Amino acid sequence: MTTGFDRPGPPVTSTSIFVLSLARRVEAEFSTVLAPLGLTVARLGLLGHIAPMPGTPR
Task: Flag whether 55 is in a domain.
Answer: no
Task: Flag whether 45 is in a domain.
Answer: yes
Which tens digit of pLDDT belongs to each residue from 13-29?
A: 899 999 999 999 999 99
What is the model's pLDDT at position 51? 74
**Residues 26/19, Cβ–Cβ less than 8 Å:** no
Task: Flag whether 5 is in a domain.
Answer: no
What is the tally of structural domains in the chain? 1
3 state DSSP class of 58: coil
Task: Flag whether 44 is in a domain.
Answer: yes
CB atoms within 10 A of CB 34: 14
Task: Flag whether 4 is in a domain.
Answer: no
Task: Flag whether 40 is in a domain.
Answer: yes
Q: Which domain holds residue 32?
A: 16-50
Going 31 to 37 to 42 to 47, the CA torsion angle's sign is negative
Give which of 41, 20, 42, 21 is closest to 32, Cα–Cα: 41
3 state DSSP class of 31: helix
Whole-structure pTM value: 0.59
Task: Flag whether 43 is in a domain.
Answer: yes
Which tens digit of pLDDT belongs to each residue from 22-52?
A: 999 999 999 999 999 999 999 999 988 887 7
